[in-house]
C-alpha cells in the first residue's frame, strides 16, 4: 500500500465529495449508520449461500465485487467518523486493548468457548 493508505486522506476526500454535491444534510449519523449496514448486507449477500469453505476460495470476479462492497463499508464508516469527530484508529487500538484483557490467549486458546457462549 502506498501513501494512499491513510484514513485521514480518505476522510478528506469523502468530505469534499459530499460538499461538492451538497449532501451534508443527508449525512446525519443516523442516516450514515443505515447506509453502512445496507452496504454490510450487500457484502454478506455474496456469502449467504456459500459454504464456509467456498467463502475462502472466491473466484476473481466475485472477489472483485466483494472488494467493492468492502470499500462501501469503509467509505460510510470513515464518513461517519468524520461527521462524529471520531478517531477510528485510536478507537480500534482502544478496543483491541479491551479485547486482549477480555480474551487472554492462554485461557481461550484452542477453544471455541468464546464463540459458543452468548
Supply the minimum distance, in Å, between the C-beta of residue 78 and its own copies: 8
Pairwise CA distance, residues 84 & 64, whole Å: 30
Supply the minimum distance, in Å, between the C-beta of residue 47 and its own copies: 4
99 interacts with its own copies by CB under 8 A: yes
Binding to its own copies by CB under 8 A, coded x per residue (else -) over 23-62, reads x--x-xxxx-xxxxxx-xxxxxxxxxxxxxx-xx-x---x
Supply the minimum distance, in Å, between the C-beta of residue 99 and its own copies: 7
Backbone angles phi, psi at 16, to 5 degrees: -65, -40
Pairwise CA distance, residues 115 & 102, whole Å: 13
- Who contacts 108 (Cβ-Cβ below 8 Å, separation ≥6)? 114
Candidate list 60, 101, 102, 112; residue touching its own copies; CB under 8 A: 112
Map the footprint of its own copies across residues 78-97, applying CB under 8 A. 80-81, 83-96
- The set of cell numbers assigned to 103 is 480474551
Amino acid at each position: 500500500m502506498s501513501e494512499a493508505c491513510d484514513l485521514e486522506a480518505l476522510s478528506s476526500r469523502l468530505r469534499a465529495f459530499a460538499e461538492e454535491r451538497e449532501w451534508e444534510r443527508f449525512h446525519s449519523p443516523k442516516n450514515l449508520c443505515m447506509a453502512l449496514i445496507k452496504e454490510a448486507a450487500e457484502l454478506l449477500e455474496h456469502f449467504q449461500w456459500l459454504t464456509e469453505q467456498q467463502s475462502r476460495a472466491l473466484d476473481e470476479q466475485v472477489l472483485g465485487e466483494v472488494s467493492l462492497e468492502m470499500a462501501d463499508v469503509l467509505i460510510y464508516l470513515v464518513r461517519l467518523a468524520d461527521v462524529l469527530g471520531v478517531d477510528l484508529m485510536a478507537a480500534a487500538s482502544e478496543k483491541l486493548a479491551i479485547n486482549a484483557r477480555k480474551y487472554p490467549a492462554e485461557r481461550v486458546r484452542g477453544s471455541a468457548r468464546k464463540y459458543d457462549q452468548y
